[in-house]
Structure 1
Amino acid sequence: MRAVARIIGLLFVSVTSAFAQEEPKVDCGKAVTQMDMNICADREYQTADGELNKVYKQAMTAMQATDKELGDIDRAYVGAVEALKKAQRAWIGYRDGQCELAGFEARGGSMEPMLVSGCLAELTRKRTAELKELVESAEN
C-alpha cells in the first residue's frame, strides 16, 4: 500500500512540475500587469542572450582563425581566443553587477525583476553589437 501511495505522490509531483514549467501566455504587445511586464522583459532578455551566444560562437571562430593566421607567422602572436574569453568573463561580471544595481531602484518591489531583465537585455544587445564588430573586422 505504501508503494502505491509513493507512486501516486511521484505522479502528482511530476504533473504539477510540468504545469509549473509551462510558459505563461502573455501578449507582450498588450502587457499591462506588472507580472506580464516582468515576463515580457525576461523574454526580451532571453532573446538577446540567444543572439549573443550565436554571435559569441562566430567571434570565437574568427579569433581561432586569427590565432592560426598569426601563429603561422610567430607563436608569440597567438592569444586572440584567450583574450576573447577573458573579455567575455569580465563583461559578464560587469553586466551582472550593473543590472543588480539597476534593480535597486525598486528593490524588493514587484517592478525589480523587470528593471533587472531590461538592463540585462540592453547590455546584452550592446555586447552583441561589439562582438559583431569584432567578427566583421576579423573578416576584413
Structure 2
Amino acid sequence: MRHVFLVLLITSPALADPTLECADASSQVEIGSCVGETEERVNQAMEASYGLAIRAAKELDDVTGRVEAQPALEASQSAWAGYRDAQCDAVGASYGGGSGTGIAITSCRIDLGRARVDELLRFAN
C-alpha cells in the first residue's frame, strides 16, 4: 500500500512542469540537478507500478489459463520506452544544442514517465 501512495504522490497533476517544481534552484546547474532527482523518483514509481501491473497480468493469465496479458504488458512497456526515448530526443533536438537541452530532455522523460505510471496503475487495478 505504501508504494501505491508514493506512486500517487509522484504522479500528482499539480506537478505539471518539472522545472517549476525546482523553484528554489537559481541556476541551470541547480535546475538540472533538481529535475534529475525528480526523474529518479519517477523511475522508482514506474518500477513499483510496473511490478504491480505485471503481477496483475500474471494473475489474469493464471486465472484464464492463457498466456497473453503478461507478454502483452511486457511488449507495451518495451515499446513505450522506445517512444519515450525518441520523443524526448526530438524535444532535445528542438533546442538546437542550447544550454537548456538537457533540462528539456529530462523534463520530457519526467512528464512521459508520470503518464506511464498512471497507465500502469490502471493495468494493476
TM range (shorter): 0.7 to 0.9
Larger radius of gyration: 1
The DSSP-based 3-state class of the residue aligned with 1:106 is: coil
Q: How many residues align?
A: 104
Q: Give the CA deviation at 1:39.
A: 1.1
Percent of aligned pairs with the same residue? 31
Q: TM-score, normalised by structure 2?
A: 0.79
Aligned partners of 1:110 and 1:47: how far apart in 2? 24
Q: Relative contact order (alpha carbons < 8 A, sep ≥ 6): 1 or 2 greater?
A: 2
Counterpart pick for 2:29 among 30, 35, 59 = 35
Matched, 1:103 2:92: yes
The structure-2 alpha-carbon separation of the partners of 1:46 and 1:107, relative to structure 1 and needing over 3 Å to count, comes to farther
- Output the aligned Cα RMSD: 1.1
Q: State the 4+ residue runs in structure 1 displaced beyond 3 angstroms.
A: none
Counterpart pick for 1:51 among 28, 45, 55 = 45
Contiguous gaps of at least 5 residues in structure 2: 1-21
Q: TM-score, normalised by structure 1?
A: 0.71
Contiguous gaps of at least 5 residues in structure 1: 1-27, 72-76
Aligned partners of 1:47 and 1:120: how far apart in 2? 12
Structure number with the higher helix fraction is 1
